[in-house]
Amino acid sequence: MKVDPVKQAPVPALSGDDLLALVPSIAEYANLRVNNLANIPSSYMGPEQWVELQKSVVEALDQAEVTGVIVSHGTDTLEETAWFLDLTVSSRKPVVLIGAQRNASDPDFDGPRNLLNAVKVCVSPQAQDLGAMVVLNNQINAARDVVKTQTANVEAFQSGTFGWLGEVWDDGVVISRLPARRQFLPITTSLPRVDIVSMYGGADGAMIHAAVAAGAKGIVIQGLGLGNVNREVYDAVVEAISNGVCLVMSTRVQQGRARPLYGFTGGGKTLAEAGVIFADDLSPQKARILLMLALASITDARQIQRLFDR
Tell me: the pLDDT tens digits for 139-151? Answer: 999 999 999 999 9
Residue 288 domain flag:
yes
- What integer pLDDT is reported at residue 286 of this predicted model? 98
* pTM for this entry: 0.96
Q: Which of 175, 206, 223 is the last residue of a domain?
A: 175
Same domain for 202 and 84: no
Tell me: the pLDDT tens digits for 280-298? Answer: 999 999 999 999 999 999 9
Same domain for 109 and 53: yes
Percent of the chain with pLDDT over 90: 95
Same domain for 230 and 121: no
Q: Is the pLDDT of residue 188 over 90?
A: no
Instruction: Give the domain extent around 239.
Output: 194-309
Q: How many domains does the chain have?
A: 2
Tell me: the pLDDT tens digits for 229-272? Answer: 999 999 999 999 999 999 999 999 999 999 999 999 999 999 99
Residue 182 domain flag:
no
Confidence category of residue 14, pLDDT binned at 50, 70, 90:
confident
Residue 189 domain flag:
no
Same domain for 205 and 141: no
Q: Is the pLDDT of residue 225 over 90?
A: yes
Same domain for 161 and 53: yes
Strand 157-158 versus strand 147-148 pairing type? antiparallel
Residue 128 domain flag:
yes
Residue 58 domain flag:
yes
Same domain for 164 and 216: no
Tell me: the pLDDT tens digits for 72-120? Answer: 999 999 999 999 999 999 999 999 999 999 999 999 999 999 999 999 9
Residue 90's SS3 state is coil
Residue 188 domain flag:
no
- Concatenated DSSP letters for 29-45? T------------GGG-
Same domain for 162 and 19: yes
The CATH number of residue 154's host domain is: 3.40.50.1170
Same domain for 171 and 100: yes
**What's the mean pLDDT in 297-308?**
96
Adjacent-strand bridge partners of 252? none
Residue 93 domain flag:
yes
- From the CB of residue 222, how many other CB atoms can be counted at a distance below 10 Å? 23
Same domain for 81 and 21: yes
Adjacent-strand bridge partners of 248? 220, 277
Same domain for 97 and 27: yes
The CATH number of residue 229's host domain is: 3.40.50.40
Same domain for 248 and 117: no
